[in-house]
């Protein structure tokens, strides 16, 4: 049997985890990561091409006879990398994990996602969408709601486009800033005002080809920079999988009420979809509500869900592309994975780069995924806000957390910071 050449696009901890998992597959021939980081270089070959540079990717894919392209982040998807391949005679038969532009709208436009959910009866908060021309109506709508107020820029705003306002006055000011003064540029030309959902958040995942789907393990992400979920939102400071408050019964509701209707909804709407679905959920009194869709895996959720998947990930990707996904039975490790993210001091605001990272090789009880690193000579240096993700699998939550914290403290660079309370809130379940 011919082995598979894979190109993985991206450079974060999520991509290192995907690359690490793919590198274990007996079905793999060559694995390339564009552009990758110092961690992916150890399990594949980095290629200095941006995921948004479709022409250079085309050249590379043809030169290296790539069979499968896996798209890590959302940007290339929203920009239409999958459509670009389908429109090209030489590329159209290459399999891609990641939806076409039409499906990527689930993440690219909050208004599109909300309309989709309402149309297909998928549980989500009540909402209305406003533009500059309907700002007055928007303010009138705010007055009909109870605080807090949830305002969402329609487009991609690097994870910053959602505002939770405590008072009506603050919400009015922010809505005006977004619509009239383009606070988030083009992304806030439209703003979704949404009912506040009071509950506890988690992330659910599936992979689909538009007909079949496979539910993947869920995870809880820790978005805020500070201890006790305080301070600014980040890309994610850690993750836990499985999620103790999302038991079998709850996850069955997620599949029946959210995952299945989403895949069926895409089909009914004539939207082809091959790739990951990421459901940002709120558990409200044991019922799931969708707060957002993403069209990729989460980061740092990936760093705790992939270590729990026993199956060959490449086999799952190939089955997705070949229409054989139903034949795959997911086998999960029952243990708990705890991921702690080490970041650069100052992140998510300004931070220094180029700091030498030491102690990586001393970690032997946890997995180390590089999030923002590069290598210079023999050194691994920091090159991003989120720098290293440390994941431990252990028999219980506490043991996994304790070991991840210990491993994280073995890794040092100037001004390194991590949250010491990842997963602690889950001990009560
Ligand atoms: P998003 O970018 O859509 O994930 O939103 C960012 C964060 O805002 C989420 O992680 C939630 O904590 C919060 N959020 C979004 N929508 C709602 C909502 N309807 N009710 C309560 N919190 C929300
Ligand atoms: N951890 C959240 C995300 O990847 O969007």
pLDDT digits (tens, 9 = 90+) for 273-283: 999 999 999 99
Nearest CA residue ID for atom 12, ligand 1: 201
Percent of the chain with pLDDT strictly greater than 70: 100
- What is the rounded distance in angstroms from the CA atom of residue 272 to the CA atom of residue 364? 43
- What is the sign of the dihedral through the CA atoms of 168, 236, 160 and 243? negative
Q: Structural domains in the chain?
A: 4-100 (3.40.50.20), 127-194 (3.30.1490.20)
State the ligand closest to the CA atom of 147: 1
Task: Give 155 Cα–ligand 1 centroid separation in angstroms.
Answer: 15
Return the half-sphere exposure (C-beta side, CA atoms, 13 A cut-off) of residue 255: 17
* pLDDT tens digits along 27-55: 999 999 999 999 999 999 999 999 999 99
pTM: 0.96
Cβ of 218 below 6 Å from ligand 2 = no
163 and 116 Cβ atoms separated by less than 8 Å = no
Cβ of 221 below 6 Å from ligand 2 = yes
Q: CB-based contacts of 299: which residues, under 8 Å, 6+ apart?
A: 12, 13, 14, 235, 236, 371, 386
* pLDDT tens digits along 394-419: 999 999 999 999 999 999 999 999 99
Does 23 sit behind a cis peptide bond, omega within 30 degrees of 0 on the bond before it? no
Q: Is the pLDDT of residue 159 over 90?
A: no
Question: Which atom of ligand 2 is closest in space to residue 221's alpha carbon?
Answer: 1
Cβ of 294 below 6 Å from ligand 2 = yes
Return the half-sphere exposure (C-beta side, CA atoms, 13 A cut-off) of residue 199: 21
């Amino acid at each position: 049997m011919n082995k598979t050449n894979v190109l993985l696009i991206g450079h974060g901890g999520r991509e290192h985890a995907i690359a690490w998992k793919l590198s274990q597959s007996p079905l793999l021939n060559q694995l390339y990561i564009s552009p990758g980081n110092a961690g992916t270089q150890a399990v594949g070959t980095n290629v200095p091409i941006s995921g948004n540079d479709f022409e250079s990717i085309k050249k590379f894919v043809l030169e290296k006879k790539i069979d499968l392209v896996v798209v890590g982040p959302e940007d290339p998807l929203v920009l239409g990398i999958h459509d670009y391949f389908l429109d090209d005679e030489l590329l159209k038969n290459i399999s891609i994990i990641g939806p076409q532009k039409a499906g990527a709208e689930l993440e690219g436009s909050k208004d599109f996602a909300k309309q989709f959910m309402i149309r297909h009866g998928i549980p989500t908060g009540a909402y209305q969408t406003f533009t500059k021309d309907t700002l007055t109506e928007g303010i009138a709508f705010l007055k009909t709601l109870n605080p807090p107020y949830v305002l969402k820029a329609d487009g991609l705003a690097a994870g910053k486009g959602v505002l939770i306002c405590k008072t009506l006055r603050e919400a009015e000011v922010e809505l005006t800033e977004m619509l009239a003064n383009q606070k988030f540029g083009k992304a806030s030309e439209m703003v979704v005002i949404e009912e506040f959902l009071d509950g506890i958040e988690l992330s659910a995942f599936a992979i689909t080809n538009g007909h079949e789907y496979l539910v993947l393990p869920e995870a809880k992400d820790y978005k805020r920079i500070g201890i006790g979920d305080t301070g600014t939102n980040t890309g994610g400071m850690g993750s836990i999988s499985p999620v103790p408050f999302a038991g079998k019964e709850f996850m069955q509701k997620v599949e029946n009420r959210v995952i299945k209707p989403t895949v069926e909804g895409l089909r009914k709407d004539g939207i082809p979809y091959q790739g990951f679905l990421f459901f940002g959920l709120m558990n409200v009194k044991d019922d799931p509500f969708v707060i957002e869709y993403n069209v990729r895996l989460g980061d740092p959720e990936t760093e705790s869900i992939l270590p729990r998947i026993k199956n060959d990930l490449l086999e799952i990707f190939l089955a997705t592309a070949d229409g054989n996904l139903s034949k795959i039975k997911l086998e999960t490790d029952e243990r708990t994975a705890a991921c702690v993210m080490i970041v650069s001091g100052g992140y998510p605001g300004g931070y220094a780069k180029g700091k030498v990272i030491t102690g990586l090789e001393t970690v032997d009880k946890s997995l180390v995924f590089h999030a923002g690193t590069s290598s210079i000579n023999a050194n691994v240096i920091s090159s991003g806000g989120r720098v290293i993700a440390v994941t431990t699998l252990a028999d219980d939550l506490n043991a996994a957390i304790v070991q991840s914290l210990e491993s994280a403290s073995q890794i040092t660079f100037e001004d390194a910071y991590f949250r010491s309370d990842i997963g602690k809130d889950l001990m009560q379940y």
